[in-house]
Amino acid sequence: MAQFQEVLKQSALHPKPAGLVLQYGTSGFRTNAKQLDHIMFRMGLLATLRSKKTKATIGVMVTASHNPEEDNGVKLIDPMGEMVTQDWEEHATQLANADQEDLLTALKNIIEKEAINMSQEANVFVGKDTRSSSASLSQAVLDGVSALGGHSKGKRSGYLKDIPYMLCNVLGPYYGLATVEGYYTKFCQAFIQLTKNTSNRTDDQKHLCLDGANGIGALKVREMESHLKKELQISLNNDGSKGRLNHQCGADYVKVQQKPPTGIKINPGERCCSFDGDADRIVYYYTDSEGTFHLLDGDKMATLISTFLKELLTQAGLDLKIAVVQTAYANGSSTHYLENTMKVLVRCTKTGVKHLHHVAQEFDVGVYFEANGHGTVLFSKAAEEKIQQLAEDTNVNDKRKKAALLLRNTINVINQTVGDAISDMLLIEAILAIKGMTIQQWDTIYTDLPNRQLKVKVADRRVIDTTDAERRAVTPAGLQEAIDNLVKKYRQARSFVRPSGTEDVVRVYAEADTQESADALAHEVSLAVY
Ligand code: 16G
Ligand code: ZN
């Protein structure tokens, strides 16, 4: 077929380096940008097939999130903004690793296995972050799409040149608003509605210091600012005009280093937050009058948000089931507070947004956050309908009505398709405004247990297999027993190990009653991993 001839011809321009093997992991393909050209072309092919199969638009994001500037990556996004299924992750790996001369065979295998009708039209939506390699790599994706006769959506001959991948997040439920303008209008209007009668809010609280990690989120916040009508005044640092992406800044740096981004002057008590490079993670922080740094991570956000929602549901008299979904990395204090003080159901699942998203879908209201700041809130259709009905009901008392209206606007400020730092920021800012709460007051809701994360390089990280949402190691034999014995030596201690899904390392996590104990435990457990 002529189509396949074109694939052959084009693929010669995007050759695969001999011997290179890459795996489609938690975050798609991610490695040094120099190794990714053929991968991008092939993901353009695969996205076209996926679009033919689903008869819907598929998103391709060219980004390596919080990784350094020299890396890049790619992941496919299904029509409702979700990650592609396990089967298609396997197709991606096979297609990526096929030798140049076997590419057509690998492609035809997928077509056959998935029974794809090749005459079906295909649409692919390509987005990219601000890395210097992203322009040519996203062009390689587009070459793949056009080689199989797919259409790529966007401007300038179908190329979304300066619209971030973030927009793929609004491909699904907000399809009608899938323009940057639509995105700003929707979220900012909801924010303004939420904060409009907040008598407790001081002018000070309208000010936020933001570290944009020199990434795409910074550019978008600049564009969005006017829509906020001064209801939120953002002083934007690391806006991409000078510094390097994620370099000594960004959510990952702040979380892992437990310190503010380099070069930003923070006044004591000032509320600050950092995005990561592709703006799907956010963490908050401040320094106190003694100069001590305080981090408010994904767990603190999940706690604030779920508490706020639970209170509103109670006030509205709505019997909806709310749960918080966490991973093994969630600080023990957060889980304890949620279960015992807030009496909220908590579920633990494997690392990776798709796992959390999946569990959150089981509830009327599912709040999910990874400790690293990646998360959002999901509302079931039934829950949204009940809230909507109550908000429109003219026969309910003022208190219930007010709560229902707040809930409705809260839904509108949330990007339910996937964690989105901008939407999460607006949600947190709105809650703090409504509650008249300072960042220090939010921080004292519970006190984090001291913790330490380490990474260990081993010959083959796959020898470690885990169970119980990664909290226990099943293999190699004896490892879990060794960890259990070490944990027993410390108070309020917990530790686990798991192979990373994005780097060739084993990750070690430990927490205990003091920082010294957490450090010592993490160190001892990492020795047991060797
Ligand atoms: C990816 C995941 C993130 C997870 C991280 C864990 C998505 C979109 N991103 O960045 O959620 O926390 O991997 O990395 O799923 P690790 O396996 O190397 O610890
Ligand atoms: Zn990210």
Place 251 in a pLDDT band, splitting at 50, 70 and 90. very high
Q: Which residue has the higher pLDDT, 175 or 339?
A: 339
Q: What is the mean pLDDT of residues 461-489?
A: 95
Boundaries of every domain in the chain: 2-163, 180-295, 298-419, 451-529
Q: Which two tokens stand for residue 62?
A: 């060219």
The rounded Å distance from CA 387 to ligand 2 centre is 31
Q: What are the tens digits of pLDDT across the range 147-174?
A: 998 887 643 323 333 333 344 444 444 4
User: DSSP letters of 18-65?
Assistant: TT-----BTTBEEEEGGG-HHHHHHHHHHHHHHHHHHTS-EEEEE--T
Q: What is the CA angle 37-39-40, rounded to 5? A: 65
In the β-sheet with 282-287, what is the strand arrangement from edge to edge?
233-237, 207-211, 272-275, 282-287, 293-296
Using the Cα atoms of residue 231, residue 218, residue 329 and residue 358 in order, give the sign of their dihedral: positive
Establish whether residue 327 lines the binding site of ligand 1, counting it when its CB lies within 6 angstroms of any ligand atom.
no
Q: What is the mean pLDDT of residues 58-63?
A: 87
Place 277 in a pLDDT band, splitting at 50, 70 and 90. confident
- Note whether 301 and 326 are within 8 A (CB): no
Closest among 372, 370, 366 to 414, alpha carbons compared: 366
The rounded Å distance from CA 278 to ligand 2 centre is 5
Let me know if domain 2-163 sits in CATH 3.40.120.10: yes
Q: Which residues are annotated as a binding site for substrate?
A: 370-372, 498-502, 507
Establish whether residue 453 lines the binding site of ligand 1, counting it when its CB lies within 6 angstroms of any ligand atom.
no
Is omega for the bond preceding 476 within 30 degrees of 0, making it cis?
yes
Q: Which residue has the higher pLDDT, 171 or 266?
A: 266
Three-class SS of residue 484?
helix
Q: What is the mean pLDDT of residues 473-496?
A: 97
Pick the atom of ligand 1 nearest to 372's CA: 12
What whole-number percentage of the chain has pLDDT above 70?
Answer: 94
Place 368 in a pLDDT band, splitting at 50, 70 and 90. very high
Establish whether residue 503 lines the binding site of ligand 1, counting it when its CB lies within 6 angstroms of any ligand atom.
yes
pLDDT for 161: 31
For residue 218, pLDDT over 50 is answered with: yes
Which of 157-166, 295-304, 484-493 has the least mean pLDDT?
157-166
List the catalytic residue out of 11, 27, 51, 65.
Answer: 65
- Integer Cα distance of 347 and 359 in angstroms: 8
Name the closest-CA residue to atom 1, ligand 1.
Answer: 27
Establish whether residue 352 lines the binding site of ligand 1, counting it when its CB lies within 6 angstroms of any ligand atom.
yes
pTM: 0.86
Establish whether residue 73 lines the binding site of ligand 1, counting it when its CB lies within 6 angstroms of any ligand atom.
no
Q: Which two tokens stand for residue 290?
A: 């003694």
For residue 30, pLDDT over 60 is answered with: yes
Q: Do domains 2-163 and 451-529 have the same CATH topology?
A: no
Using the Cα atoms of residue 338, residue 344, residue 349 and residue 354 in order, give the sign of their dihedral: negative
227-236, 274-283, 490-499: range with highest mean pLDDT? 490-499
- Integer Cα distance of 449 and 329 in angstroms: 12
Q: Compute the mean pLDDT over every residue in the chain, rounded to the nearest whole number.
A: 90
The H or E element containing residue 389 is helix 381-392
Pick the atom of ligand 1 nearest to 418's CA: 8
Which of 25-34, 305-314, 325-334 has the least mean pLDDT?
25-34
**Interacting residues of 242 by C-beta distance below 8 A, sequence separation 6+:** none
159-164: long-range contacts at Cβ-Cβ below 8 A with a sequence spacing of 24 or more?
Answer: 159/126, 160/125, 160/126, 160/127, 160/128, 163/127, 164/127, 164/128, 164/129, 164/216, 164/219, 164/220, 164/278, 164/279
Packing angle, helices 134-147 and 37-54, rounded to 10: 50
Other beta carbons within 10 Å of 500: 15
For residue 342, pLDDT over 70 is answered with: yes
Q: Which ligand is nearest to the CA of 279?
A: 2
Q: What is the mean pLDDT of residues 365-372?
A: 97
- Integer Cα distance of 391 and 342 in angstroms: 25
Give the right CATH number for 180-295 from 3.40.920.10, 3.30.70.20, 3.40.120.10, 3.40.630.10. 3.40.120.10
- Integer Cα distance of 59 and 178 in angstroms: 12
ipTM, interface predicted TM-score of the complex: 0.98
The rounded Å distance from CA 279 to ligand 2 centre is 6
- Integer Cα distance of 485 and 464 in angstroms: 18
The H or E element containing residue 332 is helix 332-336
Instruction: Indicate the pairing of strand 365-369 with strand 322-327.
Output: parallel
Name the closest-CA residue to atom 3, ligand 1.
Answer: 352
In the β-sheet with 345-349, what is the strand arrangement from edge to edge?
345-349, 322-327, 365-369, 375-379
Which of 8-17, 43-52, 120-129, 364-373 has the least mean pLDDT?
120-129
Q: Which two tokens stand for residue 456?
A: 């260990």
Establish whether residue 372 lines the binding site of ligand 1, counting it when its CB lies within 6 angstroms of any ligand atom.
yes
Write out the residues surrounding ion ligand 2, Cβ under 5 A: 65, 276, 278, 280
Establish whether residue 195 lines the binding site of ligand 1, counting it when its CB lies within 6 angstroms of any ligand atom.
no
Name the closest-CA residue to atom 10, ligand 1.
Answer: 27
Give the right CATH number for 451-529 from 3.30.310.50, 3.40.50.10860, 3.20.20.140, 3.40.50.300. 3.30.310.50
Place 131 in a pLDDT band, splitting at 50, 70 and 90. confident
Which of 138-152, 160-174, 194-208 has the least mean pLDDT?
160-174
Q: Which residues are annotated as a binding site for Mg(2+)?
A: 65, 276, 278, 280
The H or E element containing residue 353 is helix 353-360
Place 139 in a pLDDT band, splitting at 50, 70 and 90. very high
The rounded Å distance from CA 282 to ligand 2 centre is 9
Q: How many Å separate Cα 163 from the centre of its chain?
A: 18
Domain 298-419 in this protein, CATH class? alpha beta
Three-class SS of residue 121?
coil
Q: What is the CA angle 479-485-490, rounded to 5? A: 130
- Note whether 501 and 486 are within 8 A (CB): no
Is residue 65 among the annotated active site residues?
Answer: yes
Using the Cα atoms of residue 311, residue 322, residue 429 and residue 250 in order, give the sign of their dihedral: positive
